[in-house]
């Protein structure tokens, strides 16, 4: 899969270095696979290719073939989730920012636990992610601290004040974790990268991306209706037109060699070469 990412990023580099003489062969190919029809407000894809679509405050899980296999209906208790993390297929997170509640779900979207963030002094959390060791990362935006908590809300790790580590502390619109690094994304400031102990590493300026996803050491997102990509090994932005042009794009994700494009009439899935 790493080979695919290197090829994809390399294609982008060729495509944009030839802005005056675009070679159509340099543009990645999008091969339509299937479409899941419906009016969905958000789409999330896990590492195994399972899809999670929000519709009318219901979180519906689809298998890679596009068949509905589970649903989480208890979102009505707290309203529409403000943030969802499905990076771990066995443990999904649903955050209700206004209530200060994180609900953890199992693979069948059954409730594992409800965590009251306010009860442990976390009064302003906008994003959360499952850590590599099955705990939970949050960014305490009131005190500008990265924290790792367990499913009971116990604080396991606290970073230094991020304001002391960077020249411009972020407001986390997304958090992504892998086995090596933790990424905090601020749409107005860029990508803040930390190690797994909350130590600051660097900031990459890439602003106004929507719905970022991490796939094989590259960051993908949506900006101005185009797919954005940034190779973390050689960080510079690239963009490419998407095959959906007749409808506004709500979100885009890249995973499992596929591009998942959500519009108001459903989710279109394309294989990328």
What average pLDDT score do residues 166-177 get?
A: 89
Q: Which residues pair with 103 in a beta bridge?
A: 94, 114
pLDDT at 177 over 90: yes
Sheet of 128-130, strands arranged across = 128-130, 136-140, 145-149, 155-158
How far is 43 from 181, CA to CA, in rounded Å?
Answer: 24
Nearest to 212 by CA among 108, 202, 204: 204
Q: What pTM did the predictor assign?
A: 0.87
Neighbours of 267 (CB within 10 A): 23
* Rg (alpha carbons) of the chain, rounded to whole number: 18
Give the CATH number, domain containing residue 85. 2.120.10.30
Q: Are 87 and 130 in contact (CB under 8 A)?
A: yes
pLDDT tens digits along 253-266: 999 899 999 999 99
Whether the CB-CB separation of 189 and 170 falls below 8 Å is answered with yes
Domain that holds residue 24: 2-272
Confidence of residue 19 (pLDDT cuts 50, 70, 90): very low
Provide CB contacts within 8 A for 164, sequence distance 6+: none
Say how many domains are in the chain: 1
């Amino acid at each position: 899969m790493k080979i695919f990412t290197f090829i994809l990023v390399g294609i982008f580099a060729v495509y944009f270095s030839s802005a005056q003489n675009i070679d159509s062969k340099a543009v990645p190919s999008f091969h339509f696979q299937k479409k899941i029809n419906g009016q969905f407000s958000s789409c999330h894809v896990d590492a195994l290719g399972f899809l999670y679509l929000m519709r009318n405050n219901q979180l519906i899980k689809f298998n890679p073939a596009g068949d509905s296999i589970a649903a989480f209906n208890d979102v009505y208790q707290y309203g529409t989730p403000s943030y969802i993390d499905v990076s771990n297929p066995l443990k999904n997170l649903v955050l209700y920012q206004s209530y200060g509640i994180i609900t953890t779900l199992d693979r069948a979207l059954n409730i594992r636990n409800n965590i009251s963030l306010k009860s442990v002094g976390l009064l302003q959390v906008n994003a959360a992610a499952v850590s590599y060791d099955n705990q939970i990362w949050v960014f305490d935006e009131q005190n500008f601290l990265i924290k790792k908590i367990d499913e009971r809300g116990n604080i396991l790790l606290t970073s230094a004040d991020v304001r002391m580590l960077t020249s411009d502390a972020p407001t986390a619109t997304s958090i992504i974790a892998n086995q090596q690094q933790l990424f905090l994304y601020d749409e107005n400031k860029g990508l803040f990268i930390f190690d797994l102990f909350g130590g600051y590493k660097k900031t990459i300026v890439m602003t106004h991306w929507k719905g970022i996803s991490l796939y094989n050491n590259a960051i993908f997102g949506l900006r101005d209706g185009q797919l954005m990509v940034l190779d973390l090994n050689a960080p510079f932005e690239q963009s490419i037109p998407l095959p959906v042009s007749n409808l506004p794009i709500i979100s885009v994700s890249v995973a499992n060699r596929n591009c998942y494009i959500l519009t108001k009439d459903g989710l279109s899935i394309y294989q990328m070469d």
